[in-house]
Amino acid sequence: MTATTFAEAQAWIVSVGRWLDGKGWAPATSGNYSARLDDGSFAVTVSGRHKGRLTPDDVMRVDAAGASLDGKKPSAETALHLALYTLFPECGAVLHSHSAANVGLSRAAYAGSYSFAGHEMLKALPGNPTHDASVAIPIVDNSQDMAVIEAAIAPRLLAPGAAPAYLIRGHGLYGWGKDMAEAERVIEAVEWMIAAELAERSFRG
């Protein structure tokens, strides 16, 4: 886990917002990003801000209970970020993307997870040294109540060998890592594998 100063987190979050928006993974004002700070608080995106046009003023601080420390309104999904920091003390950053591909996959007729097997990109996931593996990404039903999502997904994320990522059905992808660079790598790897699976299905007909 890498904790950081608020100024460093602001710069990282502004940068990652532009990157995700450039990929088409943050349409409208969707998505939210966070980082663990070295004083025990958390930097999170302010609610309702376009992620491709973030400035440092669009990043705020909350305490471990999700209460604003600077009078700004945090993203509605801040509770899901904080749940991950609680579950994984080594976690230093959390990202949430909304690509059409990940939403489409989560809405398709799959049960509680989708498995990726044989992809070279599996090696981008922490703790997975080979393509010769199968990794299941959990899919949890959406809810306007963050506590419902948290209760449904937490036991599955703690299972042995679980990947640092999950999908909310019809909503988007969460990925995290020890720092922002690792969280970016997780999100990009899972998004790439989803796109590759769709391409394979298209070629197979």
Alpha carbon distance 115, 189 (integer Å):
13
Alpha carbon distance 50, 137 (integer Å):
27
Long-range contacts of 156-162 (CB under 8 A, 24+ apart): 156/112, 157/84, 157/87, 158/87, 161/135, 162/138
The 10 Å Cβ neighbour count of residue 8 is 16
Does 98 show up as a binding residue in the annotation?
yes
Does 119 show up as a binding residue in the annotation?
no
Q: Residues annotated as binding site for Zn(2+)?
A: 96, 98
Q: Binding-site residues, please?
A: 96, 98
